[in-house]
Amino acid sequence: MTSTVHRPAGGDGSQALRPVTPVGIAAQEVALVLDGLDAGVPVDDEVLDRLRRAHTLLAGLDPYVAAST
């Protein structure tokens, strides 16, 4: 299974990749938080929501993998 899918081409003809696996989605959420922090964005409810979402996705992986193997 691939961890990203192509989105339709944008106005400039480029294609953006969208994560589709829990790890890919969590990595994207953490990357967005880090980008914001690097840019000086204060830690607000949106930042905390992104971190909570990433945590929820990552925390569920081990039980899922254990049940699936």
Contacting residues for 22 by C-beta, under 8 A, at least 6 apart = 57, 58, 60, 61, 64
Per-residue pLDDT tens over the stretch 3-52: 555 555 555 666 678 888 888 999 999 999 999 999 998 999 999 999 99
Tokens linked to 64:
């899922």
CB atoms within 10 A of CB 68: 6
Q: What pTM, to 2 d.p., does this model score?
A: 0.66
